[in-house]
Amino acid sequence: MNNGPERITLAMTGASGAQYGLRLLDCLVREDREVHFLISKAAQLVMATETDVTLPPKPQTMQAFLTEYTGAAAGQIKVYGKEDWMSPVASGSGAPAAMVVVPCSTGTLSAIATGACNNLIERAADVTLKERRQLILVPREAPYSSIHLEHMLKLSNMGVTILPASPGFYHQPQTIDDLIDFVVARILNLLNIPQDMLPRWGEHHLSSDE
């Protein structure tokens, strides 16, 4: 049985929706995945604004903080700086089998679509693309411009999954956490990682046909 990739790159950029990234990190840790964590300066500012989490500025102290915050095992979360070109995610020979950018700013989406590699997040995505590995982008913007949509189409044609942070309501959410879990559950489903936050459509349906 395939239970998804053992090693995953998780990047957070400066769009609203830091809760999605933090929740996904927590879920990946609980499923015993090794997480290679990247975060932009803008994402750190957004996180401090939207949540009660303020990350330490240095990769080593951030790694220790996130390990304690999520209850991860030692070495399970690996944090890299924006210009750490010697990190595994910067090369096809060392990068994980999948990468998720959540939330994904439209600026990051544009950079990935055009092959820019100005920082480690962009380089890691470029490596994932060139190695034909799984790349999931979770944009959070409203409304989208024609440029945004053109970049999404271009990336989709390359095999990238565009998963907008647009929660559904058929599961009758009662809290904001329920809405966050909807999006995170969809990400986990795409990664083929087990999750029990959201039942699949029709999973508990009883047919009314005679």
| Structure tokens given for 60 | 């080593």
d(CA 82, CA 44): 12
- Report the DSSP pairing between strands 98-104 and 7-12: parallel
- In the predicted model, what is the mean pLDDT of the chain? 94
Q: Is the dihedral of CA 8, 20, 84, 70 positive or negative?
A: negative
- Within-domain flag for 108: yes
Q: What is the pLDDT of residues 167-176, one digit of tens each?
A: 999 888 999 9
- Within-domain flag for 205: no
- Within-domain flag for 180: yes
- Within-domain flag for 93: yes
Domain span holding position 61: 7-191
pLDDT confidence band for 198 (50 / 70 / 90): confident
Say how many domains are in the chain.
Answer: 1
Could you count the other beta carbons within 10 Å of the beta carbon of residue 203? Answer: 7
- Within-domain flag for 30: yes
Whole-model pTM: value is 0.93
- Within-domain flag for 1: no
Residue 153, H or E segment:
helix 146-157
- Within-domain flag for 198: no
DSSP string, 121-137: HHHHHHHHHHTT-EEEE
- CATH at 40: 3.40.50.1950
Residue 210 has pLDDT above 60, yes or no: no
According to the model, what pLDDT value does residue 78 have?
Answer: 98
Q: What is the pLDDT of residues 41-72, one digit of tens each?
A: 999 999 999 999 999 999 999 999 999 999 99
Instruction: Find where tokens 């609203």 sit.
Output: 16
